[in-house]
Structure 1
Amino acid sequence: MRKRWFWFLGFCFFLIGCAKPPKPLDFSQEYTFSGPSLNIPGWLKPYTINGKTYYPLPSAKGYEEICIASWYGPGFHGAFAASGEVYNMYEYTAAHKLLPMGTYLLVTNLENGKQVVVRVNDRGPFVGDRCLDLSYVAAKELDIIGKGTAKVKIVALGEGEIKDSQMVYTHIPNFYKGEFYLQVGSFRHKENALQYKRQLEKEFSKVEIEPFIKGDCIFYRVQIFLSDDLNQALSLYQNLKKQRFKGAFLVAR
């Protein structure tokens, strides 16, 4: 299912403002999930790396963060992740220092607007001010392989639940419903974007302009509404890209 995300990814809100992450809590004692107190699972226990202690969060609800993301690949491919899974650099996963294992994240590259959805299954990165280590395939979708890092925004979409001390994925977001658009142009001058929008409106019923801030500049991105169903949007996207809009890509809101 993750491979279906690979053109657009989404539930895009294009939230540019920076929200503070939830304050880390002290889990040096037992944590009560529901009912009787349980011994906290290994991935929720505080841990120390390079002399610094980290306190994982019990919930990702409302979590947003703007920071630097990096990626990791061949050197770790096939090794065990902190969740106990075997790391596969061709799956859409990521490492985060605090978020619960199983958290689904919408990651937006703020340098180019591209997005991907990943699932947290490892801890890290522990280098400088980086907040997220993406798998190879996720980093490739965001165009950060060559550069190595990028400024991103991460938004928690959903997460698993603890049942009988085990992680159960019960709140996986429905990736197949939303508002799916084809981005066909990006302009630095709003009037140019408006002119292109008026031309497209002769053929398409809904065309919108989505502002995008990059550094000190505002870009006006022209997007054509395709569908509220992912499968239909992908079909239309493939046909339009092949026949007319060579450099277009799919986005979701």
Structure 2
Amino acid sequence: MKTSRLISLCLFFLAACTSTSHSEYSRGTYGYKVPEGAVMSGAVFDRPYTVRGITYYRLKSVKSFNQTGLASWYGRQEHGKLTASGERYNMYAMTAAHKQLPLGSKVLVRCMETNREVIVTINDRGPHVPGRVIDLSYTGAAKLGIVDKGLTKVTLELLNGEETEPADGHFSVQLASFSMKANARELADRFRNSKVVAAYVNGRQYFRVKVTGFASRGAAENYKSRVSGQYPGALVIAED
């Protein structure tokens, strides 16, 4: 009788421990790992997924994200195939695959060798190879000048991280980013209500051109649609 009660008690505690761990894990407060080479804030993790025996910790949302690592690219063999977002891969579009960033993320990719930069939209998952942080479309890689190299070291900066929209509705549209202030100033002079904003990424200074004064996100999105043909990397930003 005592033995039976002892076994029942052990099973009770074992079940309780298992239940607690599972509950914490499902809430995203236990067991998640920061992506290798990344510095971020405001991260909320979604369910992890496993590819070839390796578990990746997908981000449901994140406020800021910077990462350094190797970039690769994929082209004609994948052209027209479905991506993780449900869109068909277009090797000529400015898109990319990332293992963890939310789909739809706008990411500034800077080649550390050529100092060129592009803005891409994350619409796929990958590259599922250790050490690689992003898989660029053919055009994205071509604009960075890395098609012939295949692999190169890059820095990533998330441009549209999740943020609380201000109550009074101040929004801007970022048109482009430059390493030289004179180039940014030249572009800003073509637009009304524009300004040049300095930003530092991994110790380097960049100059972003913004058109300001939009009272709502909808108004900013409409403006972005009008200029996206000339500035495909344009994005809406909620200002403080």
Range into which the TM-score falls when normalised by the shorter chain: 0.5 to 0.7
Q: What is the aligned partner in structure 1 of residue 87 from structure 2?
A: 85
The match for 1:20 among 39, 51, 66 is: 39
Rounded Cα–Cα distance in structure 1 between residues aligned with 2:153 and 2:143: 14
Deviation per CA, 1:171-207: give whole Å up to 9, x if none.
Answer: x97232x6757x6xxxxxxxxxxxxxxxxxxxxxx86
Query: Following superposition of structure 1 onto structure 2, how do residues 177-192 of structure 1 map, counting pairs within 5 Å?
Result: none
Residues 78 and 89 in structure 2, CA contact (< 8 A), matched pair in contact too: yes
| Partner secondary structure for residue 85 of structure 2 | coil
Is the 8 Å Cα contact of residues 96 and 137 (structure 2) preserved in structure 1? yes
Q: How does 1:93-172 map to 2 (within 5 A)?
A: 93-158=95-160
Letter in 1 for 2:188: D
Amino acid at match of 1:228: A
Aligned to 1:65: 67
Contact 1:24 1:55 in 2 (8 A): no
Letter in 1 for 2:159: L
CA deviation after TM superposition for structure 1 residue 25, in Å: 6.0
Structure with more of its chain in helix, by fraction: 2
Shift of 1:159: 5.3
Secondary structure at the residue paired with 1:81?
coil
3-state SS, counterpart of residue 98 of structure 1: coil
Instruction: Name 1:3's counterpart in structure 2.
Output: none
* 3-state secondary structure, aligned to 1:226: helix
Instruction: Tell me: CA distance 1:63–1:180, structure 2 relative to 1, closer, same or farther (3 Å).
Output: closer
Q: Could you tell me how far apart the structure 2 residues matched to 1:145 and 1:107 are?
A: 15
C-alpha separation between the residues in 1 aligned to 2:148 and 2:40? Answer: 29
Match of 1:175 in 2: 174
Alpha-carbon distance change, 79 to 69 in structure 1, aligned in 2, over 3 angstroms: same
Deviation at 1:155, TM superposition (A): 0.4
Distance in structure 2 (CA, Å) of the matches to 1:229 and 1:125: 40
CA distance in 2, matches of 1:50, 1:101: 21
Match of 1:220 in 2: none
SS, match of residue 175 in structure 1? strand
Higher relative contact order (CA 8 A, sep 6+): 1
In 1: Cα distance, 2:177 partner to 2:92 partner: 27
Give the drift of 1:128.
2.8
The gaps in structure 2 that reach 5 residues or longer are: 1-36, 164-170, 193-205, 209-240
- Deviation, 1:53, is 1.4
Letter in 2 for 1:145: V
Unpaired segments of 5 or more residues in structure 1?
1-17, 28-44, 162-171, 184-205, 208-222, 233-250
Whether the 8 Å CA contact 1:67–1:130 is kept in 2: the answer is yes
Structure 1 residue 122, shift from structure 2 partner:
0.3
Q: Give the superposition deviation at 1:139.
A: 0.3
Alignment CA distance shift 1:128-1:230 (3 Å): farther
The letter of the residue matching 1:66 is T
Q: Partners in 2 of 1:173 and 1:105 — Cα distance? A: 17
Which amino acid is 1:20 matched to?
V
Distance in 1 (CA, whole Å) between partners of 2:102 and 2:51 is 18
Which residue matches 2:231? Answer: none
Sequence identity (%): 41
Change (3 A) 1:25 1:54: farther
Cα 1:124–1:230 change in 2 (3 A) is farther
- TM-score (norm: length of structure 2): 0.55
Q: Would you say 1:226 and 2:226 are equivalent positions?
A: no
Secondary structure at the aligned position of 2:59 is classed as coil
Is the radius of gyration larger for structure 1 or structure 2? 2
